[in-house]
Amino acid sequence: MSEIEEKEELVFEKKIEKAKELLEKLSNPDITLSDSLDVYKNGIKELEEAQKLLDEAKLVFTQEEKTNKEEPF
């Protein structure tokens, strides 16, 4: 795994972990409506960014797979 891929994986994992933390905050019965909306928005943002990283990784994987099929051994 390249250094860039390792960094992207760490960023992805951090975003997922952050989303989990935000979900825990939403589970708190004492959270205010205003705070819950802010937490929800932040959670959606983290998940969208994680999805973008996942989509980019999938594209790279697909391109590599295509290149490997086209190149003879």
pTM (2 d.p.): 0.76
Q: What is the pLDDT along the chain (73 residues), one digit of tens a residue?
A: 666 666 777 899 999 999 999 999 999 999 999 999 999 999 999 999 999 999 998 998 898 888 888 776 5
CB contact set of 55 (below 8 Å; sequence gap of 6+): none
Helix axis angle for 3-26 and 33-70, nearest 10°, is 150
Q: Is the CB of residue 14 less than 8 Å from the CB of residue 47?
A: no
Q: State the DSSP string of 40-72.
A: HHHHHHHHHHHHHHHHHHHHHHHHHHHHHHHS-
